[in-house]
Structure 1
Amino acid sequence: MTDWADRKTRARRWFESLRDDLCAAFEAIEEEAETALYGAGTPARFELTPWDRSNDPAVEAGGGVMGMLRGKVFEKVGIHCSTVHGEFSPEFAKAIPGAQDDPRFWASGISLIAHARNPHVPAAHMNTRMIVTTKGWFGGGGDLNPMMDAYRNAEHEDTLDFHAAMRSACDRHGPDYYARFSEECERYFWLPHRNEARGVGGIFYDRHDTGDWADDFAFTKDVGRAFLDVYPRLVRRRMHQPWTEAEREHQLFRRGRYAEFNLLYDRGTTFGLKTGGNVESILSSLPPLATWP
């Protein structure tokens, strides 16, 4: 008999520990910001705000902690953990594996979105999650979103390093994982109304259940560790490059594309809103400033 209670506890604890490590990494970068470029002031820290899924204190349905940082290097970073449970609506249950006959669910995960002030620093997204209905699976991934056109190609060093980190996480668990999940990332993070990609890709996987839960969990942890390693390195590579007003304007234009995807196509946004998640956490993925022609 599957011990889902133990698995749920282990997954939740991992997501929360990864959250703590990521927050520490981003705060360390804020401490390194050069005064000449970013100005003086106390380095920013994450503001952690707990929330409950149910508005009724008599109903226990889980919740989470919303973590937000607004600093010098990072104009806006959201790192959120949540663990929720309840029942899917009849309409939504039809689209979820294992929920058609029994709409009860449990879900836990971490999500991150980073928007830097410097146009040379790429925006980035990462999330990993575990969902349980009458079935159980993992999902998530990470993708890179350069703001400058010169960086938006497969041969740029930032793109190569990010994909190498994701490939390393994949290769430890399946020889075909990187090919499959990077291709899925390209399909998923596509704006059909613009006929263009949101960024330069990474990996994306969903409903991942090989039958070996321990390895699926280990893979999910390796994805989180890979992002924790590579993204701060890319930020440090670019954060002290000077930028022009024209580059800043182009950054805001590219952010508009980012916002369009999250509002129109992002599955995490849909899942969160349809399961009573924290609206501020869900929509914190939107950039702080953006422009459209």
Structure 2
Amino acid sequence: MSSLTPEIMERRGRAQEWFESLQRRIFAALEQLEDEAPPELYPGAPGRTEYKPWTRETGVGGGTGGFLRGRLIEKAGIHTSAATAKFSPEMAAQMPGADKDPSYVSASISLIIHPLNPWVPTVHMNTRFLSTAESWFGGGADLTPMLDVQRSQDADDTKLFHAAMQAACDPYDPEWYPKYKAWCDEYFYLPHRQEMRGIGGIFYDRHNSGDFEKDFAFTRAVGEAFLEVYPKIVRGQMMKPWGEAERREQMVRRGRYVEFNLLYDRGTMFGLKAGGNIETILSSMPPMVAWP
């Protein structure tokens, strides 16, 4: 008997609809920022979103890859996906509830934004719903300032971002923010360099409190918090001029992003092993990068 009941399929449909609506709203906010960017700092036409639907090669489903390359946002990828498929034996052994029935459904949104201005931090966010015989949510958001002078826990952007993530957590359980903040610090760590990728945020996985509506509302709150706080951070930094030294420092710091995503990131590995879209999975790579 399949674990993919009508109730689970309905829940996946609701999650998919939410993630797709959030994708459109975040792109609208980025396009507004592109319009606001002063031409003396950001010459050229404002960037606009390009959507690329795709279909899975295995199982049923697909998604929409969304891309924006502009004058303020050098590269942004915001992607949604939904699937009805079966895990490989290797992956089924790692997934709760998949040991007897490898069938699963999923829905997700994942984004990465690489601004042109080194003063504007790079940001990553993803949330997802996955169900086998067990169901859970996962995701989070983390901020990566590119310049060392901004990478303090006392920096204004750090405080603003963490306050937004805490505000998303606290109405549901005041213990979630410190727990998921610590998990983010542990997860986005580069062992070979003995340093964090950025200044953190929150990270959670296999989140199931036993109350689907509560957990879904929490996941929506993370998306709403991101949509509110990141444009504020961009507007607070986008007017600062930069030079060759700042741009070089930015590109070196982007190298840490490449190292983490290719060596350690579970989402990248899951997407590649589960038959995801290669273009969207690897769109997290910065457009320009350097190593010392």
Q: TM-score range by the shorter chain?
A: over 0.9
Per the TM alignment, residue 116 of structure 1 is displaced from its structure 2 partner at its CA by 0.4
Partners of 2:118 and 2:172 in 1: CA distance: 35
Partners of 1:213 and 1:62 in 2: CA distance: 23
Q: 2:48 aligns with which of 28, 45, 49?
A: 45
State the identity %.
Answer: 55
TM score, norm. by length of structure 2: 0.97
Partners of 1:172 and 1:270 in 2: CA distance: 32
Partners of 1:159 and 1:227 in 2: CA distance: 13
Partners of 1:211 and 1:38 in 2: CA distance: 48
Report Cα offsets for 1:203-261 as digits up to 9, x if no partner.
00000001000000000000000000000100011111000100100000000001100
Secondary structure of the residue aligned to 1:20 is: helix
Q: 2:36 aligns with which of 22, 32, 35?
A: 32
Secondary structure of the residue aligned to 1:38 is: coil
Per the TM alignment, residue 278 of structure 1 is displaced from its structure 2 partner at its CA by 0.1
Per the TM alignment, residue 11 of structure 1 is displaced from its structure 2 partner at its CA by 0.6
- The letter for the 2-side match of 1:247 is E
Between 98-107 and 281-290, the greater mean CA deviation after superposition = 98-107
**What's 1:8 paired with?**
12
Secondary structure of the residue aligned to 2:21 is: helix
- The letter for the 2-side match of 1:142 is A
**What's 2:57 paired with?**
54
TM score, norm. by length of structure 1: 0.97
- The letter for the 1-side match of 2:278 is V
Secondary structure of the residue aligned to 1:185 is: helix
- The letter for the 2-side match of 1:277 is G
**What's 1:167 paired with?**
166
**What's 1:220 paired with?**
219
Q: Are 1:268 and 2:271 counterparts?
A: no
> How many residues are treated as equivalent by the alignment?
288
**What's 1:71 paired with?**
70
**What's 2:233 paired with?**
234
Per the TM alignment, residue 105 of structure 1 is displaced from its structure 2 partner at its CA by 1.1
Partners of 1:179 and 1:43 in 2: CA distance: 39
Partners of 2:171 and 2:277 in 1: CA distance: 34
Secondary structure of the residue aligned to 2:137 is: strand
Partners of 1:262 and 1:171 in 2: CA distance: 29
Partners of 1:85 and 1:31 in 2: CA distance: 39
- The letter for the 2-side match of 1:54 is E
**What's 2:112 paired with?**
113
8 Å contact from structure 2 (residues 112, 122) kept in 1: yes
CA RMSD, Structure 1 to Structure 2 (Å): 1.1
Report Cα offsets for 1:18-77 as digits up to 9, x if no partner.
1111010001000011011111x331111000000027xxxx610000000000001100
Per the TM alignment, residue 2 of structure 1 is displaced from its structure 2 partner at its CA by 7.5
Q: 4+ residue stretches of structure 1 with deviation over 2 A?
A: none
8 Å contact from structure 2 (residues 20, 109) kept in 1: yes
Partners of 2:19 and 2:174 in 1: CA distance: 25
Q: Map residues 89-108 of structure 1 onto 2, 5 A cutoff.
A: 89-108=88-107
8 Å contact from structure 2 (residues 76, 113) kept in 1: yes
Report Cα offsets for 1:175-195 as digits up to 9, x if no partner.
101000000000000000110
Secondary structure of the residue aligned to 1:138 is: strand
Partners of 1:95 and 1:6 in 2: CA distance: 25
Partners of 2:248 and 2:109 in 1: CA distance: 31
